[in-house]
Amino acid sequence: MSVEIVIIGDTHALTFEELPKEMLKAIRRADYVIHVGDYTSKNVLDGLIRLKGQQFKGVYGNSDPQAIRNMVPSKQILDIKGKRIGITHPAIGGLEKYTLKRTMTKFRNNKVDAIIYGHTHEPDIKNKGNILLINPGKGYLEDGHSASFGIITIDKKIKSKIQEIGV
């Protein structure tokens, strides 16, 4: 039986209710939800925990207040269905290639099958060696710009896709 994980990040919302409806629908349906930081409001984190309980996993980002940093770590390694998944939110900006390099460096001493990260607001899926790298993009809608989230399905392998919403 496969496991479905919805990946969100950089939601930059004041309340849980501000999250895009299509994203919330996918989260409710999924086995797990992973947030890669920059909730910006504890209300968003509390809503995700209330909705998913132990099936919520997350890290904090550079825009998150201390209340959020007290509840979730900056880096986490999950073991889901025999796959090791690292999650983080690199706190230092810069070009995409530097963000990716910093992300990889955070897990260089850990054996992981996938790394999920945020910060750039740009959705991306790529492979670096044997590691699947996923950035879900930004999790908020703004005039003329879409939001996005990732979906991972784990069976014997990890399959991933980006879902764009809005515009």
Domain range for 79 is 3-165
The bridge status of strand 56-58 relative to strand 32-35 is parallel
pLDDT in tens, 7-51: 999 999 999 999 999 999 999 999 999 999 999 999 999 999 999
Q: What average pLDDT does range 112-124 have in this prediction?
A: 94
Contact 142, 15 (CB under 8 A): no
The DSSP letter of residue 141 is -
Integer Cα distance of 159 and 163 in angstroms: 13
Task: Please tell me whether the overall predicted TM-score, pTM, comes out greater than 0.85 for this model.
Answer: yes
CA dihedral 160, 129, 37, 46 (to 10 degrees): 50
* Token pair for 108: 């260089």
Domain CATH code at residue 118 = 3.60.21.10
Structural domains in the chain (count): 1
Of residues 72 and 102, more confidence is placed in 72
User: Given pLDDT bands bounded at 50, 70 and 90, which one contains residue 93?
Assistant: low
pLDDT in tens, 60-72: 999 999 999 999 9
